[in-house]
Amino acid sequence: MTFKEFFSFRSNLMLWGNLLAIFIISCLLIVGTWIGLKYYTRHGETVEIPSVKELDEKDAVNLIRSRKLRAVISDSIYIKGMKRGQIVDQNPAAGTFVKEERIVYLTINSASVPTMKMPDIANNSSLRQATAKLSSYGFRLTEEEYIEGDNEWVYEVKMNGRSIPAGTPVPIGATLTLVVGNGHGENMADSLGFFLPDSLIPDAGSAPSESAPQGELPTPQQNTPQSETQETQPARPVHEDSWF
């Protein structure tokens, strides 16, 4: 076969046969790929995710598996008032259409109450500061107990009548009581920074006593000579035409 006869489209049957075979094989590959992808991805086949919130863990997992889906417990939190093991949240949400074998992540209610260490509140915070800090941590506060001490100063934190030192593990959401000063301390500071007993603090509006109480030493007085004359300032001359 000459070179001219090989490229003659009318008489070269081998060329036409090869082109036809390439076309058929290409069509089969395209159709096979499309069918394979449709089967692999399950195009158009979706499953609606059921709502499993507030169900027990076992019931929720069985319901999800009955829809040809998979369930995985991904997290746990504690919510007071809910039963242990109840479903708190799910992802994807209920009503979402997904493919079969899709994983549904579940969050359940914790079986134990989480705890945290008591912050440094006693003898370190005012009533306003302690209330704001403890409330932000999720604790509940009862009516304050007042004792003799500085006004609005927190001296102690109690739970169920027991003192809770800083660093003690306490269940989150527990009810606490703050022991606060009422502003009537047992001691008062004088102007020099010393503390005087209550027995020596005079009542407001009462006249000072002339005699010292019995059992107390009299305050020494400076002996000032009676005959000592006080120096007087010389009088300024007054002029007639002065206004002062």
Q: Which of 3-12, 84-93, 117-126 has the lowest mean pLDDT?
A: 3-12
Is there a shared CATH topology between the 47-109 domain and the 115-181 domain?
Answer: yes
Mapped onto helix, strand or coil, the DSSP state of residue 133 is helix
Band the pLDDT of 237: cuts 50, 70, 90: very low
pLDDT value of position 2:
59
Say what percent of the chain tops pLDDT 90: 39
pTM value?
Answer: 0.45
Q: Residue 178 pLDDT more than 90? A: yes
Nearest-angstrom CA–CA distance, 28 and 182: 92
Q: Going by CATH, does the domain composed of 47-109 fall within 3.30.70.270?
A: no
pLDDT value of position 216:
47
pLDDT value of position 106:
94
Nearest-angstrom CA–CA distance, 174 and 139: 5
Let me know: does 179 contact 154? Beta carbons within 8 Å: yes
Q: Residue 200 pLDDT more than 90? A: no
Write down the domain spans for the chain. Answer: 3-41, 47-109, 115-181
pLDDT value of position 8:
60
Q: Residue 77 pLDDT more than 60? A: yes
Average pLDDT over residues 203-207: 46
Per-chain mean pLDDT for the chain:
76
Q: Residue 171 pLDDT more than 50? A: yes
Q: Tell which wins on pLDDT, 221 or 81.
A: 81
Question: In sequence order, what are the residues at sequence separation of 6 or more whose Cβ sits closer than 8 angstroms to the Cβ of residue 73?
Answer: 57, 106, 107, 108
Q: Which of 50-54, 122-126, 190-194 has the lowest mean pLDDT?
A: 190-194
DSSP 90: E
CATH architecture of 115-181: 2-Layer Sandwich (3.30)
Band the pLDDT of 17: cuts 50, 70, 90: confident
pLDDT digits (tens, 9 = 90+) for 90-149: 999 998 898 888 999 999 998 778 888 999 999 999 999 999 999 998 899 999 999 999
Of 14-28, 128-142, 176-190, 195-209, the range with the highest mean pLDDT is: 128-142
SS3 track for 11-52: CCHHHHHHHHHHHHHHHHHHHHHHHHHHHHHCCCCCEECCCC
CA contacts within 13 A on the Cβ side of 83: 8
Let me know: does 76 contact 109? Beta carbons within 8 Å: yes
pLDDT digits (tens, 9 = 90+) for 209-224: 444 444 444 444 444 4
